[in-house]
């Protein structure tokens, strides 16, 4: 199994560290030629979604990656990655890939000072640490989207077909359970092809 990590901006190195910790090969996507490599899954990291969206288009990565996601490539979007996947943002007119049928509120918990960490249940995984850093949350999900976790009544993790979107940063903890769950999804999808 090989997982590509979008590395144009944000917390991509931390995701690579987690993947290395669980013995999964990974590489960085920085330019269009990186897409020539074969990969089984994609991680869209946290960071600044506006900058990531702009760079994806400038580097000619946006359309090829969107097509891959639409064709069933397993993807994990964390924080800004969730924003990139969302079909709509409730407090911003921009939308990016628009492949995940949810409505997301950007910076829902306020500025950096509003960042926090909790331990909460995530369906299929159990109790895990969840770090929220200038995090969004999911205001509404379409039919068929599975809610995986809520914190303070707000939806913070979902899954829809090949896509997992989460508000928090699992890559900044010592817990590898989210990355392991993503790998299980990849195996399931690969088995169906």
Residues 77-107 have pLDDT tens digits of: 999 999 999 999 998 888 899 999 999 998 7
What's 93's domain CATH number? 3.40.50.880
**Choice among 15, 26, 171, 183 that is catalytic:** 171
Is 169 among the residues known to form the active site?
yes
**Which one of the listed residues 15, 16, 26, 79 is annotated catalytic?**
79
Residue 125 has pLDDT above 70, yes or no: yes
Among the options 26, 169, 175, 179, which is catalytic? 169
At 110 the pLDDT is: 66
The residues facing 122 across adjacent strands are 126
Per-residue model confidence as pLDDT tens digits over 56-75 = 999 999 999 999 999 999 99
Domain hosting 49: range is 2-192
What total of structural domains would you count in the chain? 1
Q: With bands split at pLDDT 50, 70 and 90, how would you rate the model's confidence at 114? A: low
182 DSSP assignment = H
Q: Could you identify the residue written with the tokens 């969004």?
A: 136
- For residue 79, indicate whether it is catalytic: yes
Full-prediction pTM beyond 0.85? Answer: yes
3-class secondary structure for 93-128? CCCCCCCEEEEEECCCCCCHHHCEEEEEEECCCEEE
pLDDT in tens, 3-31: 999 999 988 999 999 999 999 999 999 99
For residue 165, pLDDT beyond 70:
yes
pLDDT average, residue stretch 37-63: 95
């Amino acid at each position: 199994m090989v997982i590509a990590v979008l590395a144009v901006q944000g917390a991509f190195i931390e995701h690579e560290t987690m993947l290395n910790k669980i013995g999964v090969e990974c590489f960085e996507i920085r330019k269009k030629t990186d897409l020539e490599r074969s990969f089984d899954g994609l991680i869209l990291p946290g960071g600044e979604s506006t900058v990531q969206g702009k760079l994806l288009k400038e580097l000619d990565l946006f359309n090829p990656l969107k097509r891959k996601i639409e064709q069933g490539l397993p993807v994990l979007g964390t924080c800004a990655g969730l924003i990139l996947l969302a079909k709509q943002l409730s407090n911003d007119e921009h939308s990016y890939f628009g492949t995940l049928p949810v409505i997301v509120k950007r910076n829902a918990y306020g500025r950096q000072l509003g960042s926090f960490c909790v331990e909460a249940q995530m369906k299929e995984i159990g109790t895990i640490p969840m770090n929220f850093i200038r995090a969004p949350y999911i205001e509404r999900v379409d039919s068929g989207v599975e809610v995986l976790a809520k914190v303070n009544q707000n939806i913070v993790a979902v899954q829809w077909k090949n896509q997992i979107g989460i508000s928090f940063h699992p890559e900044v903890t010592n817990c590898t359970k989210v990355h392991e769950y993503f790998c299980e999804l990849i195996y399931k999808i690969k088995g169906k092809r």
